[in-house]
Amino acid sequence: MPLDPYLAGRVRGIPTDPSWNADRSDPDNAPIYAEFFTDPAPYELPVSVDIRDDVVFGPHGPVPVRIYRAVDAIGLVPALLWNHGGGFAGGDLDMNESHVASAELAARSGALVVSVGYRLATDGVRYPVPLDDVEAAWLWLVASAAGLGVDSRRIAIGGGSAGANLAAATVVRLRNNASPLPTMMLLAYPALHFPLPALEDDVQAVMATLPQVLRASAAAVTAMFANYAGRISDLPAEVTPGHADLRKFPATRILISEYDDFRPSGELFAEQLAEVGVPVETRLSTGMLHGHLNRTPALPEVSRSLDYFAAAFAPTVNSAPSSHE
């Protein structure tokens, strides 16, 4: 289908001139981005979720986490360690992809959700520091399961974009170290390969009409991985999990944005998991751009995407619209 009609209307407000200074910190651009990120209706966090901040400690010091628990949860509940995106160099616990997504997933699934404020690849910070932080949060969640009222047999890991990379990379590390593995992965529009696989022609035709600021050009992807890893050659599997040995990975759900330069990475990863016998399902979020969980459930397709992940915690999970058996 074409780009979601509501998003298409918002996209028209973004300059298409390649020379436009798209810096989001530029005050002159604030109205443009505010208009683009305005959703169809006001949003309020679910009142059925209790939210509190905490800190865990890893090899680089304290790591902030935010814990979301459904107030009517009874008995031991499943849990999800969630990691926001932002190209490894941006994002925080307050962004929609972290705060709104975590609150909604807790409310919709009954799972306890722990969002991780890992260190960003800025000011000289590089791999493996962000990954070390996520691993520290994972090991803390596993060790604290009883005290948090969590069923230790049902702890998942996930994230969006670069956060999905960190989730998958954590599994690579845990598997290699014989550490406790998640029972499930939930990956939203993941960035798992470098270089990225190519888009299909029909998707590329739509992507070519979008303003450059909404694209992940080859140069931008190269810069993202170079900034994170400090190089673009001889990258370890913890940086590009799509090039790892994926055997013994947990069952995985992958959410794919239809119009997204990272779409082929998620689709290829699903094929790779299926090839080695890992149960994997995918859902194509129709009409959506990369990072659509940074919007709110006021946009219907965002709500459906959240339901897709929340349903993974149900005792019996129905088949997704698109799956790799």
Per-residue pLDDT tens for 108-140? 999 999 999 999 999 999 999 999 999 999 999
- The burial class, CB within 10 Å (0-12 / 13-18 / 19+), for 296 is buried
CATH code matching the domain that covers 47-315, chosen among 3.40.50.300, 3.90.1420.10, 3.40.50.20, 3.40.50.1820: 3.40.50.1820
What is the model's pLDDT at position 315? 74
* Residue 179 bears catalytic tag: no
Of the candidates 102, 161, 257, 265, the residue annotated as catalytic is: 161
Dihedral angle at the C-alpha atoms of 299, 301, 306, 311, nearest 10 degrees? 140
Beta strands at 280-289 and 251-259: parallel, antiparallel or unpaired: parallel
pLDDT of residue 316 exceeding 90, the answer is: no
Q: In whole angstroms, give the CA distance from residue 249 to residue 315.
A: 20
What is the model's pLDDT at position 323? 39
pLDDT band at 321 (very low <50, low <70, confident <90, very high): very low
* Mean pLDDT value of segment 96-105: 98
pLDDT band at 317 (very low <50, low <70, confident <90, very high): very low
What is the model's pLDDT at position 196? 97
Q: In whole angstroms, give the CA distance from residue 6 to residue 127.
A: 38
Of the candidates 4, 132, 133, 260, the residue annotated as catalytic is: 260
* Residue 290 bears catalytic tag: yes
pLDDT of residue 325 exceeding 70, the answer is: no
Q: In whole angstroms, give the CA distance from residue 256 to residue 190.
A: 8
CA angle in degrees (0–180, nearest 5) for 271-83-158: 35
CA angle in degrees (0–180, nearest 5) for 92-226-190: 55
pLDDT of residue 11 exceeding 70, the answer is: yes
Do 184 and 312 form a contact (C-beta atoms < 8 A)? Answer: yes
Q: In whole angstroms, give the CA distance from residue 212 to residue 119.
A: 27
Nearest to 158 by CA among 214, 107, 97, 100: 97
Of the candidates 84, 99, 193, 290, the residue annotated as catalytic is: 290
Domain-wise residue ranges, the chain: 47-315
Q: Among positive and negative, which fits the CA dihedral 319, 281, 101, 209? A: negative
Q: In whole angstroms, give the CA distance from residue 209 to residue 12.
A: 11
* Residue 48 bears catalytic tag: no
Do 157 and 80 form a contact (C-beta atoms < 8 A)? Answer: yes
pLDDT of residue 162 exceeding 60, the answer is: yes
What is the model's pLDDT at position 19? 87
Q: In whole angstroms, give the CA distance from residue 263 to residue 271.
A: 13
pLDDT of residue 55 exceeding 70, the answer is: yes
Token pair 């029972």: residue: 183
Do 126 and 228 form a contact (C-beta atoms < 8 A)? Answer: yes
* Mean pLDDT value of segment 50-55: 98
Q: For the chain, what percent of residues have pLDDT higher than 70?
A: 97
pLDDT of residue 277 exceeding 50, the answer is: yes
pLDDT of residue 319 exceeding 50, the answer is: no
